[in-house]
Amino acid sequence: MDCTGRQSAGWIKLDLLSRGVEIDESVFAFLAATANVARRKNFYNTPIWGETLSPPPQELRVLGVVVGLNSYGVSPWRLSWSRDQNSLALRNAAAGLEYTAEPLPDLHLFARHPQCAKLANLYGGAALAFFSPRTCYFFADGTECSFCSLAGTAEETVGFKSHLSEADVQTTVRTAFETDPERIEQIMIVGGNMRDLDRGFRHHVSLAAAAQTSLREAGRSGNVSVHIATMPPRNLDLLSLLRDLENVHVMFNLEVWDPSVFADVCSGKQKDYGREALILALKALRTAIGEYRAHSLLVTGIETAESTITGARALAEMGVSPIINIYHSDRHSRLGLSVRPTFAYLAQIAHGVQELYDTYPLKPYWRNCGRNAIDSEASHGLFRSPVPQSLEKVTAC
Ligand code: SF4
């Protein structure tokens, strides 16, 4: 198999996420000369190591799929700008590969209404994301998930509102559908978690309801989904609040499947909620909002590939759509650069996930905009093919 067509897009994405990308200085000349490119706004994670001249794009479209632009230092992949052709190119000289990389345009919303840029983010070119609260109580206890960089990133960036109101979300969504009516496919409500988990859950549901009010006004609630990423409430009766939301997806994240790795990587979740209770909450969530609209994210690279695949299968069998997120080495996270999943490891997981997508009616959490997730690619069958030889050879070197 060669590496030129859409069929290779999933494999190229895996390699880019495994190795990261070096960013040539010419990219910053391109950004200076080009208006309206969506730049990294540091709402949640910072997988760009080293100083850059200005914020780079947070993702690119390559062979039709969205890929996170993560930069960990030396990499065979290099992003550069050709001034003559006015295009960005991703090159891997060792593998003899070169692709056009499309930067994603930002929303008119943020240019015309700068106050909205302090409240929301554009994720993957198609999801309007709200982050509230910008803190998580596990950091206060020193028991945060070891891959999470929320606290350091929040300290690094000022001016973003740390706790959003229903009015903030309702107004921003309404305005976004006036300025960018065709761009947004998903609304994401993301946390940060409050120590009072029931209060935190109610907060997230109330923000989702506020978003949906504006979607209904815009006549878009049927085709724009609303997504909530949160810890489960302690009182599972509160899940009934979700029944008032249309077209909703919710994630309660296990992060890893292996119980001993979970206790180590997610020590706060383990001590304060417990893995078994999280699985019970996921089953209750599935019952409350319907099969495969309940999701749980598994981060690759911090347990064996077999364990990730076993976990994804167990979730699929219980009517929960797994989310497979490729570990990105964030500055400010405890794991930092100490973990780097190889292409071969990710390819094993991708084949396993493809089999699940071919067996169960799974739904990707990010439909076409998951910059570090590979579920949408599996839903399009992009991991059915063998690994392209050019990547396999480079990996074997
Ligand atoms: S639950 Fe874990 S991953 Fe989520 S914000 Fe808190 S520390 Fe970060």
Q: Which atom of ligand 1 is nearest to the CA of 137?
A: 6
Rounded (10°) CA dihedral 64, 65, 69, 75: -80
* Superfamily per CATH, domain 108-396: Aldolase class I (3.20.20.70)
- Between the CA of 165 and the centroid of ligand 1 the distance, in Å, is 21
Residues 169 and 207: beta-carbon distance below 8 Å = yes
- Between the CA of 43 and the centroid of ligand 1 the distance, in Å, is 13
- Between the CA of 66 and the centroid of ligand 1 the distance, in Å, is 24
pLDDT of 185 reads: 96
pLDDT of 51 reads: 85
DSSP one-letter string for 264-293: HHTHHHHHHT-HHHHHHHHHHHHHHH-TTT
- Between the CA of 192 and the centroid of ligand 1 the distance, in Å, is 6
Residues 112 and 127: beta-carbon distance below 8 Å = no
Please name the residue whose Cα sits nearest to atom 5 of ligand 1. Answer: 192
Q: Which two tokens stand for residue 44?
A: 């949640």
Q: What is the pLDDT along the chain (397 residues), one digit of tens a residue?
A: 566 677 899 999 999 999 999 999 999 999 999 989 999 886 778 899 988 889 999 999 999 999 999 999 999 999 999 988 899 999 999 989 999 999 999 999 999 999 999 999 999 999 999 999 999 999 999 999 999 999 988 888 778 888 999 999 999 999 999 999 999 999 999 989 999 999 999 999 999 999 999 999 999 999 999 999 999 999 999 999 999 999 999 999 999 999 999 999 999 999 999 999 999 999 999 999 999 999 999 999 999 999 999 999 999 999 999 999 999 999 999 999 999 999 999 999 999 999 999 999 999 999 989 999 999 999 999 999 999 877 766 554 3
Please name the residue whose Cα sits nearest to atom 4 of ligand 1. Answer: 192
Please name the residue whose Cα sits nearest to atom 6 of ligand 1. Answer: 136
Strand order across the beta sheet in which 186-190 lies: 120-123, 127-131, 186-190, 225-229, 248-251, 294-299, 321-325
Distance CA 375, CA 377 (A): 5
pLDDT of 396 reads: 44
Note the pLDDT tens digit of each residue in 53-62: 899 999 999 9
Q: Which two tokens stand for residue 246?
A: 């249309």
Note the pLDDT tens digit of each residue in 86-125: 999 999 999 899 999 999 999 999 999 999 999 999 999 9
Distance CA 126, CA 176 (A): 12
Residue 121: phi and psi, rounded to 5, are -135, 155
DSSP one-letter string for 10-40: HHHHHHHHHH--EE-THHHHHHHH-S-B-B-
Residue spans per domain, the chain = 108-396
pLDDT of 211 reads: 98
Residues at CB less than 6 angstroms from ligand 1: 136, 138, 144-145, 148, 150, 192-193
